Structure 1
């Protein structure tokens, strides 16, 4: 996640640099200090919000190069989320910095400063500018609504999915406002306007890709369902066969669109069999879509698969590996175990900790012990029901965790990940090589 944080900082440092090269701050002494500061706040917050919005849409199209820069698509979507939230907050500050002083003038609480600039606009420019202001204001309302839907996990995914499709339209409308707002400035005499125009042009292109539903089109293939099986713990196993060999690796995931739906959902591969050109997805019944999935699926149905994505591939791992899974987070490890067994390549030096809840009954898959034995992996089950219980387990594991040469691969619920990290900090255990995909998309 450090790479994502660094990219987040770089994005907004680029926005600040754009504001600085506009030399807007040099006009502070042209009017009263208060009004000058207010005008600079409008521009600074606006540029920061615009960079946040632009990279939100750029990150959304699942470009392979950008995803690799972020350390995987899951990390790119985490950055996408941070940029989106920041953009909404900064857009609201931009809007308030513009509106509140006017409200104070209308209320007679402060005097009107007169024109703050010496730019004379043509009539058509004023008309375009005014229309852009209207678009931007309504666009802000929609952005706030979209953000609330995105961060609230109580709202069903299908509502989140379809409302998200409105964002490219909102972005293009706001792009119109950004470019027409430059009519009342002298930014075109500085590199600032050209930096804004470049970022805007790239992001508008990405918005059009999303608007015309071309996201991931180059990475999409068609498969047929081979069989659907019910598994323990409300899990459905769906095996599909590709018509061509797709270079997917154990531990990766793909966006899957089944024939009965127009939605694409990300699912992790629990098996990759290149000999049979088949893929298996183990899908946990967690929401309305996944709970009803099995009753819609039949052998022979077409499936659209977009992928592969993710860097949870166990590549460049050291000789000693520690795998930690919780719940359905076992799936990428299943794929790796099956791959190693199929190739006859034992995974020496691998220890696998599988955390379960005492109320969940039979663990998934029920053949995991045998699978680990075949692959040469040491498996340990841990039952967790409270924080104290977790601390006890970590105490038992300290000898393995204190080995600086061990690579740790984690996949499981965010709550388990946080509990493990908190306990490690309390017990002063240092982790240097920790790999985890971000499977929470909202």
Structure 2
């Protein structure tokens, strides 16, 4: 995808300009120059992370979906923090700037604290509420840049790149905090029913309040905010209904504090705000022979695709649905009914506690090694990683393997 390459390219261009366009005097203080190169590259990476945090939908095709935008966001942030730490470790500290040094230390301390919290035991909601402060400390680092005496300021092109990165990053941060709620597609819904499917999974059906309905493609996910005490934070859920269905259906498994609380407390009549749709798990653009693999609650995007499947479907699709225990199976009778209605759709259920873990070799033996054009997967991250490696080892190109990683922290 071109998106990550653009970010890496911006960092490389910055390094090349710094190494070739700095004034000759900069060579005399090699340590200072290297430390500033670490800092300017970190600023570019943090700016990219702030842009990706806007969830701008026009960026999705350049990264392969919102899930990969968040992956690039995390990688840019981690690389930026590593370079920031290298800057602090190598810069010759001088206390002659009464404003510059304190602002730099405040920015580094704040970003370090937030980085520690990101990998710490905070709940998703607490992490999300604190994570936006990255933009505040990024702005403080801009003050540090303007207040200290630096080599970069004497080089027109590197300094212009630095100021441009700050402008883009701060603008993205202000948009996220102040304007995103008005620019993102948001729709008013109300919970119609909450039905327990298994001991750990509920189905939530939401109907629009008014004439405006969410427009989405089958297989996409949305961010939902339930306006009920204890549930007032947006969370991503895959839509399991078809786009033509006036109601939005969500199958939600208790996999953390929030989703466990939601399954116990959410009631019909609760108002909700839905934002989306997001994601690019679009099987309609794939080849004629497809392999679908769903793990646990990862069956939801495929349910949407099945419910949206035309009567004259001519693709050959093999669906593997794997769960750990039999009581975790969702909608199997409906899935079988879709298979009966579409001769090209073949479905297989694997209960790993009874039949063993589903493997790439097992899948290829049933589906046929030479007939698969595209693979689509949704499920736990270890499962996705294992199958991706297995299909790559079996000779399937990366461009034919499609999946989404629901890991936004």
Q: What is the 5 A alignment of 1:411-430? A: 411-424=378-391, 428-430=394-396
**2:262 aligned to which of 285, 293, 299:** 293
Secondary structure in 2 matching 1:315: helix
**1:255 aligned to which of 198, 202, 223:** 223
Secondary structure in 1 matching 2:284: coil
Residue of structure 2 in register with 1:59 after alignment: 52
Q: What is the 5 A alignment of 1:239-318? A: 239-242=205-208, 243-260=211-228, 261-274=231-244, 276-318=245-287
Residue of structure 2 in register with 1:339 after alignment: 308
Offset, 1:55: 0.8
Secondary structure in 2 matching 1:402: coil
Between the aligned partners of 1:4 and 1:411, the Cα distance in structure 2 is 22
**Deviation by residue 1:217-239 (Cα, 9 ceiling, x = unmatched):** 43212112221111125111111
Matching of residue 226 in structure 1 with residue 226 in structure 2:
no
**2:157 aligned to which of 184, 188, 191:** 191
Offset, 1:312: 0.9
Q: Is the contact made by 2:188 and 2:271 (CA closer than 8 Å) also made in structure 1? A: yes
Q: Residues 167 and 386 of structure 1: is their aligned pair in 2 closer, same or farther, counting only changes over 3 Å?
A: farther
Between the aligned partners of 2:2 and 2:352, the Cα distance in structure 1 is 31
Aligned pairs, number: 402
Secondary structure in 1 matching 2:283: coil
Q: Is the contact made by 2:293 and 2:376 (CA closer than 8 Å) also made in structure 1? A: yes
Between the aligned partners of 1:389 and 1:223, the Cα distance in structure 2 is 39
**Deviation by residue 1:198-248 (Cα, 9 ceiling, x = unmatched):** 221121111112233635743212112221111125111111123323320
Residue of structure 1 in register with 2:22 after alignment: 23
Q: Residues 4 and 190 of structure 1: is their aligned pair in 2 closer, same or farther, counting only changes over 3 Å?
A: closer
Secondary structure in 2 matching 1:292: helix
Q: Is the contact made by 2:216 and 2:243 (CA closer than 8 Å) also made in structure 1? A: no
Matching of residue 86 in structure 1 with residue 52 in structure 2:
no
Q: Residues 10 and 384 of structure 1: is their aligned pair in 2 closer, same or farther, counting only changes over 3 Å?
A: farther
Offset, 1:354: 1.2
Q: Is the contact made by 2:224 and 2:272 (CA closer than 8 Å) also made in structure 1? A: yes
Residue of structure 1 in register with 2:297 after alignment: 328
Residue of structure 2 in register with 1:440 after alignment: 407
Offset, 1:44: 0.9
Matching of residue 165 in structure 1 with residue 129 in structure 2:
no
Which consecutive residues of structure 2, in runs of 5 or more, have no partner in the other structure?
Answer: none
Residue of structure 2 in register with 1:148 after alignment: 116
Secondary structure in 2 matching 1:214: helix
Offset, 1:356: 1.9
Q: Is the contact made by 2:218 and 2:243 (CA closer than 8 Å) also made in structure 1? A: no
Residue of structure 1 in register with 2:101 after alignment: 133
**Deviation by residue 1:357-409 (Cα, 9 ceiling, x = unmatched):** 2x453411232322333344200122436998545x61562474633751110
Secondary structure in 1 matching 2:275: strand
Secondary structure in 2 matching 1:321: strand
Offset, 1:305: 0.8
Secondary structure in 2 matching 1:236: strand
Q: Which runs of 4+ in 1 moved over 6 A?
A: none
Between the aligned partners of 1:288 and 1:347, the Cα distance in structure 2 is 43
Q: Is the contact made by 1:402 and 1:430 (CA closer than 8 Å) also made in structure 2? A: no
Secondary structure in 1 matching 2:331: coil
Secondary structure in 2 matching 1:192: helix
TM-score, normalization by structure 2: 0.89
Matching of residue 14 in structure 1 with residue 16 in structure 2:
no
Between the aligned partners of 1:4 and 1:133, the Cα distance in structure 2 is 34
Q: CA RMSD in A?
A: 2.7
Q: Is the contact made by 1:390 and 1:423 (CA closer than 8 Å) also made in structure 2? A: no
Q: Is the contact made by 1:62 and 1:73 (CA closer than 8 Å) also made in structure 2? A: yes
Q: Is the contact made by 2:187 and 2:275 (CA closer than 8 Å) also made in structure 1? A: yes
Matching of residue 210 in structure 1 with residue 176 in structure 2:
yes
Q: Residues 235 and 72 of structure 1: is their aligned pair in 2 closer, same or farther, counting only changes over 3 Å?
A: same
Between the aligned partners of 2:354 and 2:89, the Cα distance in structure 1 is 45
Between the aligned partners of 1:28 and 1:97, the Cα distance in structure 2 is 15
Secondary structure in 1 matching 2:280: coil
Between the aligned partners of 2:40 and 2:288, the Cα distance in structure 1 is 48
Q: Is the contact made by 1:251 and 1:313 (CA closer than 8 Å) also made in structure 2? A: yes
Q: Is the contact made by 1:404 and 1:431 (CA closer than 8 Å) also made in structure 2? A: no
